């Protein structure tokens, strides 16, 4: 494959993406648990639209800037599965809430007070879910009574309480996750049941990710799962979850060849993430990636049967898709070796 585009460039194989999209949608289509996919993986409004068209009940995001990109493109409802703090961010959230259904996670009374004051001053109803620490040890109030207390406080302060969230990211990478996964969901659902026992409706009980979709999908009391990486997939995830296919790669051009040992291409750490390890070379087959610098990929070509020349293109698998997408402003949708569409990355 040789593409007439400037490199480095982010590529997505459209047939693979479509298979991943259909497979996850098929799993959730009968309910009762639904899919609320995470925007942070692809940060592409058009792909979010395709996820909604395939049956997703809304889009999850991690930041206000991602929520802003979704709202500007008419995409929603939006769940910000993260805490916010500080007057500028609270004001931004109020403005987003004027234009779309946007829900934000809270885990402390101070944030509730800030949101409530902004809601009153801006005459804008604001919606929240209580974030519960179900085992990750990052954000989130403790399960049980503390979660109930926070839900009550949100309602008393004039906010619209929508439900609870319990994300246990430490389960994402690793085998033998089922016992810990179920323990986390027991905490989330027990908190949900406790809140409901006090006459407070809980519409949302959201949790999970791509690697736990089949553990939490259908878990009694959980309403939706925040799968993200399944759509583009990457080789890090693939090493311990084979349900979906890698669709994302980065294209580079050979810019230096000074012997028969190696070539250098114009794609480095500013174009493909090395955060979780050195990525693998997708093509040419027979070569191997030795090292990534800021602007360069050093490729081993010692197999003498491998012809490669200046100006030839190489392709590197995305090893960590979230951090690779974040380095680009567009991705090229590839079908049958040709560019079919250009997808904007926003947020």
- pLDDT of the residue at 180: 65
- Is the separation of the CB atoms in 133 and 143 below 8 Å? yes
Beta strands in 217-346 (DSSP E): 224-225, 248-256, 262-265, 281-283, 288-292, 297-300, 313-317, 330-335, 338-344
Question: Which band of pLDDT confidence, cut at 50, 70 and 90, is reported for residue 218?
Answer: confident
Q: Where are the domains of the chain?
A: 14-232, 241-344
Average pLDDT for 64-91: 98
Closest C-alpha to 212, from 257, 242, 245, 177: 177
Class of domain 241-344: mainly beta
Residue 44, helix vs strand vs coil: coil
Global pTM?
A: 0.95
**Does residue 178 or residue 43 have the better pLDDT?**
43
Q: What angle do CA 44, 268, 228 make, to 5 degrees?
A: 30
Class of domain 14-232: alpha beta
Share of the chain above pLDDT 70, in %: 96
- 27-51 pLDDT, tens per residue? 999 889 999 999 999 999 999 999 9
CA 256 and chain centroid, separation: 35
């Amino acid at each position: 494959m040789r593409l007439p585009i400037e490199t480095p460039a982010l590529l997505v194989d459209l047939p693979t993406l479509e298979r991943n999209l259909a497979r996850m949608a098929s799993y959730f289509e009968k309910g009762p648990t639904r899919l609320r996919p995470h925007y942070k993986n692809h940060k592409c409004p058009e792909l979010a639209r395709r996820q909604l068209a395939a049956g997703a009940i809304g889009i999850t995001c991690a930041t206000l800037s991602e929520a802003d990109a979704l709202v500007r493109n008419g995409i929603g409802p939006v769940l910000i599965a993260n805490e916010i703090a500080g007057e500028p961010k609270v004001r931004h959230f109020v403005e987003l809430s004027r234009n779309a259904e946007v829900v934000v996670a809270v885990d402390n009374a101070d944030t509730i007070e800030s949101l409530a004051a902004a809601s009153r001053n801006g005459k804008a109803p604001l919606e929240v879910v209580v974030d519960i620490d179900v085992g990750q040890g990052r954000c989130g109030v403790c399960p049980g009574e503390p979660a109930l207390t926070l839900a009550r406080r949100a309602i008393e302060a004039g906010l619209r309480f929508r439900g609870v969230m319990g994300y246990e990211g430490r389960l994402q990478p690793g085998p033998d996750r089922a016992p810990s996964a179920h323990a986390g969901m027991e905490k989330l659902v027990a908190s949900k049941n406790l809140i409901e026992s006090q006459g407070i409706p809980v519409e949302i009980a959201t949790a999970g990710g791509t690697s736990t979709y089949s553990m939490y999908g259908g878990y009694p009391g959980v309403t939706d799962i925040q799968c993200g990486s399944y759509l583009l997939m990457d080789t890090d995830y693939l090493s311990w979850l084979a349900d979906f296919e890698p669709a994302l790669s980065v294209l580079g051009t050979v810019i230096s060849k000074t012997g028969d040992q190696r070539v250098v291409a114009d794609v480095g750490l500013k174009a493909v993430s090395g955060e979780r390890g050195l990525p693998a070379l997708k093509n040419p087959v027979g070569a191997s990636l030795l090292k990534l610098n800021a602007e360069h990929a050093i490729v081993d070509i010692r197999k003498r049967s491998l012809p490669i020349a200046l100006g030839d293109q190489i392709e590197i698998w995305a090893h960590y898709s979230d951090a690779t997408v974040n380095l680009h402003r567009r991705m090229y949708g590839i079908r049958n070796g040709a560019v079919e569409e250009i997808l904007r990355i926003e947020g």
